[in-house]
Amino acid sequence: MSLQEEIKELTEKSDFTANDREIFESFKEALRKGEIRAAEKDSEGNWRTNAWVKQGILLGFKMGGMIEMSKGTESFKFFDKETYPLHPMSLEDGVRIVPGGSTIRDGSYVAKSVVCMPPMYINVGAYVDEGTMVDSHALVGSCAQIGKNVHLSAAAQIGGVLEPIGAMPVVIEDDVLVGGNTGVYEGTIVRTRAVLASGVILTRSTPVFDLPNNKIIKSDGENPLEVPANAVVVQGSRNITSGFGKENGLSLYAPIIVKYRDEKTDSSTQLEDYLR
């Protein structure tokens, strides 16, 4: 029986044996090694959710009991599910974790050469690929998929999703720069080499105004919002054109693609190479 079939069987149970726990630990190890993922890109470049993987992550919360995770000598206490302790790490993993209070939860994949600046947090089911920097106060939410050579700047928030199990997690593809205090939520997909300026907020219901191509990019309600490859997105606003909003000169937040990445943009982001 495959691991996928075993996990699906376990989700139907409410009482668990030692053998069931071994199956779950094998599942969690596969997540930790990046052998399975909550979402994957197919040969045509489309991202698909692996619902059974998210089922397995939820299974861990159902299976685990609450324990104290802090040491007896500590006054700063921690209590969590025994199935999700800290991610086991060693020097051989090749991940740079700078001292200062960062946490990586077990059941996540963090590749070699990732840099973690304190304090940051990577949640269960997340996938963080090689060469990425997770800067101070940045969050990589549950099941979020982060590509190679991404910079998640200080206080960037990458939203997580566990339920419903079919919901697409946030995807940040390779070579993306996510500015400080930027938030990406609700399964938004940011394609390769895009730049999100500081403070940009993206959700499934957020329209993005593409100035170079004179169009509005929206989610169709079923599929997530997608930011095109190489897009440079900044904060903007649009006027309310009727009623009370117009009378009072009000406007709504609107992310705007002001251009697509070029040599000048690349030179301004080149500093990231020196930080790794």
Q: Whose CA is closest to 146, among 160, 127, 123, 161?
A: 127
Question: Is the model's pLDDT at 172 over the cut of 70?
Answer: yes
**What Rg do the C-alpha atoms of the chain give, in angstroms?**
20
Question: Is the model's pLDDT at 145 over the cut of 50?
Answer: yes
DSSP 8-state class, residue 140? E
Q: pLDDT tens-digit profile of 82-126? A: 999 999 999 999 999 999 999 999 999 999 999 999 999 999 999
- Report the b/e string of 221-260 with b at 16+ CB within 10 A: eeebbbbbbbbbbbbbeeeeeeeeeeeeeeeeeebbbeeb
Q: Where are the alpha helices (DSSP H) in the chain?
A: 3-10, 18-32, 51-63, 243-247, 263-268, 271-275
Question: Is the model's pLDDT at 10 over the cut of 60?
Answer: yes
- Residue 273 is predicted with a pLDDT of 54
Question: Is the model's pLDDT at 234 over the cut of 90?
Answer: yes
Instruction: Please state the rounded mean pLDDT for residues 41-60.
Output: 96
Q: Distance between CA 62 and CA 187 in Å, rounded?
A: 24
Question: Is the model's pLDDT at 275 over the cut of 50?
Answer: no
Higher-confidence residue of 156 and 220: namely 156
- Domains of the chain, each with CATH number or no CATH: 89-269 (2.160.10.10)
State the Cα torsion 126-129-133-134 to the nearest 10°: 0
Instruction: Please state the rounded mean pLDDT for residues 172-190.
Output: 97
DSSP 8-state class, residue 12? T
Q: pLDDT tens-digit profile of 253-272? A: 999 999 999 877 676 565 45
Instruction: Please state the rounded mean pLDDT for residues 180-199.
Output: 97
Q: Are strands 183-184 and 201-202 parallel, antiparallel or unpaired?
A: parallel
Instruction: Please state the rounded mean pLDDT for residues 134-152.
Output: 98
- Residue 70 is predicted with a pLDDT of 87
Q: pLDDT tens-digit profile of 206-232? A: 999 999 999 999 998 888 999 999 999
Higher-confidence residue of 242 and 271: namely 242
Q: Whose CA is closest to 184, among 146, 212, 156, 153?
A: 156
**What is the average pLDDT score of the chain?**
94
